[in-house]
Amino acid sequence: MPRRTIRVALLALLLSALAPSALSVPSAPSALPGLPGPGGAASPPQPADRRTEPAATAPTHPTPTERTTPVPVTDSLQLAGRRVVYSYPGPTPPPELLATIRAGRAAGVIFFKENVPSVPQLQAAVAQLQQAAAEAPPGAPLLLMTDQEGGRIRRLPGAPELSARQIGLAPDPAGEAARAGVGAAGTLSGAGLNVNLAPVLDVYDTPDNFIDHFERSFSQKPEVVAELGSAFLAAQQKLGVAATAKHFPGLGAAAHGQNTDEGVVVLPVPLADLRARGEEPYRAAIAAGVRLVMASWAVYPALDAYHPAGLSRAVVHGELRERLGFRGVTITDALEATALAAFGDAGDRAVAAAEAGMDLVLCSARDIHQGDAAVAALASALDSGRLDTAGFTEAVHRVDALRTSLATP
């Protein structure tokens, strides 16, 4: 029997098992040349969005370790695709993307302002995409996402209109945060979207720095960010739209011009400070049941001097999974970010992210070939044994569970 067939057959058996598989720890990718040490060059100011456009109750959704009914798998490309989020240019989903979705080789789609000339046009596109997903072997709904943080970072017209900073300064900040979460859920669900890449949990340390300049941080105090971020995400998720806490383990120390979209960002924050300020809001978000966590592309020498957080096993597995106990879905920031220039092409980066423990790879260059390259590389790494079978299976299960849980009645 060919080696590829053996490996895929094994994956099908694992996906059919109800007992959780143990995550193995693949070897860390070797450091690539060109990554500067602390004090790397700062990039010019950009709109503070990585893709170049400006007391919670216990969750009622299934826990990430619960199994959905598995579907037999016969294609490693399909398994890989179930870990990739695509993007496309313009208002209409291209036929090639719809064909990829029908083949079961996509987990979701991210939307930008160029995809939303009007809400009715977005609704029509969403209907096309979800119909294609319904015809796919898994049959689960796609993860349809955007950045609807509030204030200047909104892809769709409508709520939440207040920025994080404005919420933090309001007379009733917790109430405003909850209302913003409700507003975000209404705006997105009304258009057919089911995932918000918000809230931002970065705790800014200097006024007008990278994250504060565009009013994306609730506060300079980690306890305030924890409270308001949790209020936002809990209110939103009660209405059926999954929330994403970002950018782990925190971009609050990034200077005004330090933008991972434009270059390498190194944040030499002492470990004690990083955990007490940058990571602390995530503890509250996890307790509130946040469904996804997005990792930063900055480098944190206190944890890993050679790899951006989203490519670092020490950060994703060691800090987020083991120290903080997160069991939901991890998602990368934009795979095309210039901060990753030293880490190869889209396929190389996708595999490195999977090795670090990222479940979903965000291909947001508005080019379906970027997503195709990520899928092909992940499938090849799975077939060759570079990516561990059990770990890959667990990641697919987490993503599948999230997709199934967001299905509308």
The alpha carbon dihedral of 187, 190, 191, 195 has a sign of: positive
Angle at 326 between CA 57 and CA 195, to 5 degrees: 65
- What residue type is assigned to position 147 of the chain? D
Rounded mean pLDDT, 197-209:
97
Domain range for 90: 3-16+47-405
Tell me if 82 sits within 8 A of 382, measured CB to CB. no
Report whether pLDDT(30) > 50.
no
Four-CA torsion 353, 358, 364, 370, nearest 10 degrees: 50
Report whether pLDDT(57) > 60.
no
Beta carbons within 10 angstroms of residue 81's beta carbon: 27
Report whether pLDDT(271) > 80.
yes
Residue 168 domain-assigned (yes or no): yes
Give the Cα separation of 4 and 380 in Å (integer). 9
Query: Residue 37's pLDDT is what?
Result: 35
* 400 token code pair: 């599948």
**Cis bond upstream, residue 45 (ω within 30):** no
Tell me if 260 sits within 8 A of 46, measured CB to CB. no
Residue 260 domain-assigned (yes or no): yes
Report whether pLDDT(153) > 80.
yes
* 320 token code pair: 């987020």
Query: Residue 51's pLDDT is what?
Result: 53
Confidence bin at 155 (pLDDT 50/70/90):
very high
Give the Cα separation of 383 and 312 in Å (integer). 22
* 45 token code pair: 């100011």
Query: Residue 408's pLDDT is what?
Result: 79
Confidence bin at 137 (pLDDT 50/70/90):
confident
Give the Cα separation of 43 and 338 in Å (integer). 10
- Identify the CATH number of the domain in which residue 92 sits: 3.20.20.300
Rg for the chain (alpha carbons), in Å?
A: 20
Give the Cα separation of 80 and 399 in Å (integer). 11
Give the chain's domain count: 1
Query: Residue 251's pLDDT is what?
Result: 98
Diameter of the chain by CA atoms?
Answer: 68
Report whether pLDDT(147) > 60.
yes
Give the Cα separation of 73 and 9 in Å (integer). 8
Spell 92-107 as b/e; 16+ CB within 10 A means b. Answer: ebeeebbebbbbbbbb
Residue 149 domain-assigned (yes or no): yes
Query: What percentage of residues in the chain have a pLDDT greater than 90?
Result: 80
Residue 33 domain-assigned (yes or no): no
Tell me if 248 sits within 8 A of 200, measured CB to CB. no
Report whether pLDDT(289) > 90.
yes
Which range among 43-52, 212-221, 350-359 shows the weakest confidence by mean pLDDT? 43-52
Cα–Cα nearest to 28, from 392, 304, 269: 304
- What residue type is assigned to position 211 of the chain? I
- What residue type is assigned to position 170 of the chain? A
How far is residue 134 from each of residues 30, 78, 141, 403, measured CA to CA in Å? 40, 15, 7, 12
Confidence bin at 48 (pLDDT 50/70/90):
very low
Per-residue pLDDT of 216-266, as tens digits, reads: 999 999 999 999 999 999 999 999 999 999 999 999 999 999 999 999 999
Task: Give the residue carrying structure tokens 């965000």.
Answer: 362
Query: Residue 304's pLDDT is what?
Result: 98
Per-residue pLDDT of 331-351, as tens digits, reads: 999 999 999 999 999 999 999
Residue 27 domain-assigned (yes or no): no
Give the Cα separation of 212 and 221 in Å (integer). 13
Query: Residue 374's pLDDT is what?
Result: 98
Residue 352 domain-assigned (yes or no): yes
Confidence bin at 175 (pLDDT 50/70/90):
very high
Query: Residue 32's pLDDT is what?
Result: 36
Report whether pLDDT(379) > 90.
yes
Confidence bin at 67 (pLDDT 50/70/90):
very low
Which range among 13-17, 107-111, 363-367 shows the weakest confidence by mean pLDDT? 13-17
Residue 265 domain-assigned (yes or no): yes
Residue 21 domain-assigned (yes or no): no
